[in-house]
Amino acid sequence: MHSTTDQTVTYDDLTISRALTILDSRLKSHPAFPHPESVKHFLRLQSHSLPHEVFAVMFLDAQNRLIGYERLFRGTLTRTSVYPREVVKSALAMNAASVILHHNHPSGLCEPSTDDIAITRCLRATLAL
């Protein structure tokens, strides 16, 4: 009974790994993110199976091409700490024209917490300087 479940998990992981490889290839040939839907797909693949919270950043150039993606902070099952200074430092080091902030919720609850909203506002103000 467990072998079927193990095979399914292995197959799913293999499928996702292949999808990431295809996505990586497409980003190299057509690296711009023309619409929010393409960003959503990219980010879902980046955090699909993480058992803990992460805060990550997509760094984009002036044509919305991906310069880099970095998981800056790793947390626990229900929380992660974010330090705006480190986000700004990474954005400047990458010479990014813009950033897209990404934070997952492994619990499946997609509603932002009060802390999520507060740090987003803080980052928006900090990055606007």
How does pLDDT run across 41-86, given as a tens digit for each residue? 888 888 888 899 999 999 999 988 999 999 999 999 989 999 999 9
C-beta separation of 106 from 52 below 8 A? yes
Query: Which tops the pLDDT comparison, 14 or 81?
Result: 81
What is the set of domains in the chain, with CATH numbers? 31-128 (3.40.140.10)
pLDDT of residue 4: 57
In whole angstroms, give the CA distance from residue 127 to residue 57: 12
pLDDT over 50 (residue 1): no
Q: What radius of gyration do the chain's Cα atoms show?
A: 16
Stated pTM of the model? 0.76
Percent of the chain with pLDDT strictly greater than 70: 86
Q: Which residue bears the tokens 């802390």?
A: 115
pLDDT of residue 58: 95
Average pLDDT over residues 80-96: 96
